[in-house]
Amino acid sequence: MTGKSVPQNLELSNPDKVLFPDKGYSKADLANFYQQVSAIILPHLKDRPLMVQRFPDGIQAEGFYQKDVPDYFPSWVPWARLKKKEGGSIRQLMANNRSTLLYLADLACVTLHPWLSRADRPNQPDRVIFDLDPSGDGEDFSQVIQTAGMLRSLLGRIGLRPYVMTTGSRGLHVVAPLLRREGFDQVRGFAQEVAQRLTVEHPDLLTTEQRVAKRQDRLYLDVARNGYGQTSVAPYAVRALPGAPVATPLEWSELTASGLGPQSYHLGNILERLDQQPDPWQGMGRHGRSLSQARKNLQNLTA
């Protein structure tokens, strides 16, 4: 739901407010970035319930998460009334237009976290996600890259089309688009089956053990984001970390690039990258595949 009149130009309040002290990036810098990438990022957000991370006093201060649309929001900000897991409902924020992106930036919403489903069918996700973070101190990113490659191979063998992205934090996300035919329980169960197969094949490298003390130096294959109301960082979202890193979709061939890390792209260089090459995730929704068929294909591999 949204109002009919969406303003085309918004004036920032306190545009010089510094949000990233280490680099001196201001609210205006954040807003300008989201304005310049709006045509790229909006297709990844359209009609998706959204949770935002707000830092009114900059990232050095404590921030907070927001997902509801309070009464003080303009009437043209999109929202959908959705059920909460704990009961009741919420006017869930969405970002379907450039003006909403700028309005959120004016509220110091640094990072955007969309659902894996769209508001018209909130219980039927159109993607499955694997969150890959390095173990221990996180210095061995090659472990994450290796695991992403193994996931790509397995998902491809069972008929899905995987995509990869730096998270801007510690690791990579591997995502495969789905047809919206099954619920979150089925998607999460499938992701667990995929993760379990890989851990059985590579027990010294990977684990599905939730308890940190039992993971040792193995990479945790995290599939917990595949649930109703769960979110993942949006492509091209800025992270609330020193240096203002940006979650960045990659071509698979880029995983072999020397020096690649989860924070390789940031406000200082991401626009140059986007000037030189298109979004690797552009149009990914057109490549949604059947989860039931992928599950059958996975079972045939293990038969």
**Distance from C-alpha of 10 to C-alpha of 223, rounded to nearest angstrom:** 39
What is the DSSP secondary structure assignment for residue 68, as one 8-state letter?
A: B
Q: Is 46 part of a structural domain of the chain?
A: yes
Q: What percent of the chain has pLDDT over 90?
A: 86
What is the mean pLDDT of the segment spanning 93-102? 96
Task: Read off the pLDDT of residues 42-65 as tens digits, 9 standing for 90 and up.
Answer: 999 999 999 999 999 999 999 999
- Note the pLDDT of residue 168: 97
Strands, E, within 134-211: which ranges?
163-166, 172-177, 206-207
Q: Which pairing describes strands 18-20 and 25-26: parallel, antiparallel, or unpaired?
A: antiparallel
- Note the pLDDT of residue 113: 98
**Distance from C-alpha of 196 to C-alpha of 49, rounded to nearest angstrom:** 30
Q: Is 282 part of a structural domain of the chain?
A: no
Task: Read off the pLDDT of residues 239-287 as tens digits, 9 standing for 90 and up.
Answer: 999 999 999 999 999 998 889 999 999 999 999 999 999 999 999 999 9
Say if residues 236 and 168 touch (Cβ distance below 8 Å): no
Q: Is 237 part of a structural domain of the chain?
A: yes
Sign, CA torsion 257/258/260/265: negative
Strands, E, within 84-218: which ranges?
89-93, 109-114, 127-133, 163-166, 172-177, 206-207
Q: Is 2 part of a structural domain of the chain?
A: no
- Is the pLDDT higher at 212 or at 184? 184
Task: Read off the pLDDT of residues 194-252 as tens digits, 9 standing for 90 and up.
Answer: 999 999 999 999 998 888 878 888 999 999 999 999 999 999 999 999 999 999 999 99
In total, how many domains does the chain have?
A: 1
Q: pTM of this prediction?
A: 0.94
What is the DSSP secondary structure assignment for residue 160, as one 8-state letter?
A: -
Query: In this model, does residue 3 exceed pLDDT 50?
Result: no
CB-based contacts of 190, cutoff 8 Å, min separation 6: 128, 291, 294, 295, 298
CATH of residue 78's domain is 3.90.920.10
Q: Is 287 part of a structural domain of the chain?
A: no
Q: Is 93 part of a structural domain of the chain?
A: yes
Q: How many CB atoms lie within 10 A of CB 14?
A: 11
Q: Is 13 part of a structural domain of the chain?
A: no
Q: Is 89 part of a structural domain of the chain?
A: yes
Which 3 state secondary structure label does DSSP give 266?
strand
Domain that holds residue 94: 18-122+229-243
Query: In this model, does residue 119 exceed pLDDT 70?
Result: yes
Q: Token pair 């450039």 is at which residue?
A: 98
